[in-house]
Amino acid sequence: MAASTNKEVAKELLPLIRVYKDGSVERMMDSPYVPPTLDPDPQFGVSSKDVTISQNPAISARLYLPKLAQPHQKLPVLVYFHGSAFCFESAFSFIDHRYLNILVSQSQVLAVSIEYRLAPEHLLPAAYEDCWTAFQWVASHRNRNSINHHDHDHQNHSNVINNKEPWLLNHGDFERLFIGGDSAGGNIVHNIAMKAGEDDQESLLKEGTGVRILGAFLVHPFFWGSGPVGSESDVSDNYDHKKRLEYLIWEFVYPTAPGGIDNPMINPVGSGKPSLAKLACSRMLVCVAGKDSLRDRGVLYVNAVKGSGFGGEVEFFEVKGEDHVFHITNPDSENAKKMFNRLASFLTK
């Protein structure tokens, strides 16, 4: 990192990331890579391994399997999308590996944590496309015979590896399929559920290619918009909403977004936006933290879903006095334990 001090900076988004004129990228907030543990982790009893979903573009995942009560046990399947502003961290990082180990051990789910491409090397919508492809690949295991290529989006991801993953085949219960994510990952969850709602899943299920999402959890989801909501404007007289980090992140990761910061992928609430009644899940849990700058957006989103005609159950959980993704950065705290218990009860209900 010291060598980078002599290089010219082209763009930076402090304290997260710096892009140099030679094209190199410095991610200041990344946690280190850790390998999977095929032999059960001694602390949590969880096994993990890495798989390749697509070679071009490069999409992979880390799978987590809890200790089984019996050899052919079927478990709920969780497709998980990590956070960190679409531009740093990894499914293979220490912080996410620790988080998934705890969540999987407490929830007794088979988790698939997706490694998607990051900005600025791969600007949005690349991450959305990767996560949809990965979700389709996981869901294809519902039909044991063939990888699902019915979706037109595979024309952009034609190199999906046509192989089945034994853990998903042997232990995945696709009647209990969940999607979940934190921060930017929570945003991805919303957009996956909306995209799944564009298709007639009931008809596709009859054809053997559809999928039903039982539940979706969005923890401290990254939503924003051009107009301040709630406490966002309670700052100072010279407050400039466009200089907020949340605003700058979106411009950095998706500079060509139609509608900019009011694109429905980042601001799903308001007139002219796709109906949230299309969300393709039976149950939803939205979690917020009292001190999180994204809190009021999460509350706005929950209320909008409830008022949209969405036919599923909507659950809301707030932890007072905590900040953004506190349960990931400090998983041993008492409030983090409450978060894990809440997520586990949602996944096992």
Could you read off the pLDDT of 225-269 as tens digits, one per residue? Answer: 999 999 888 766 667 889 999 999 999 999 999 999 999 999 999
Note the pLDDT of residue 129.
98
Strands (E), 39-161: 47-54, 59-65, 75-81, 110-115
Are the beta carbons of 110 and 64 closer than 8 angstroms?
yes
Sheet strands side by side (includes 17-20): 9-13, 17-20, 25-27
* 84, 89, 94, 95 alpha-carbon torsion, rounded to 10°: 0
Give the pTM: 0.94
Amino acid at 231: S
Each residue of 18-33: pLDDT tens digit? 999 999 999 999 999 9
pLDDT in tens, 174-185: 999 999 999 999
Q: How many angstroms separate the CA atoms of 52 and 345, rounded?
A: 30
Mind listing the pLDDT tens digit for each residue in 203-219? 666 666 678 999 999 99
Tell me how far apart the alpha carbons of residues 195 and 213 are, in angstroms, rounded to a whole number.
Answer: 12
What average pLDDT does the segment 299-310 reach? 98
Give the CA angle between residues 155, 137, 266 to the nearest 5°.
Answer: 75
Q: Of 226, 203, 202, which Cα lies nearest the Cα of 213?
A: 202
**Would you say 166 and 204 are in contact if contact means Cβ atoms under 8 Å apart?**
no
From the CB of residue 175, how many other CB atoms can be counted at a distance below 10 Å?
Answer: 11
Give the three-state DSSP class for 306: helix
Active-site residue list: 183, 292
Per-residue pLDDT at 14 exceeds 50: yes
Which of 22-31, 56-65, 228-237, 299-308 is predicted with the least confidence, judged by mean pLDDT?
228-237
Contact between 204 and 103 (Cβ < 8 Å)? no
Amino acid identity at 156? N
The whole-angstrom separation of Cα 196 and Cα 151 is 11
Instruction: Please answer whether residues 145 and 45 qualify as being in contact, where contact means their C-beta atoms are separated by less than 8 angstroms.
Output: no
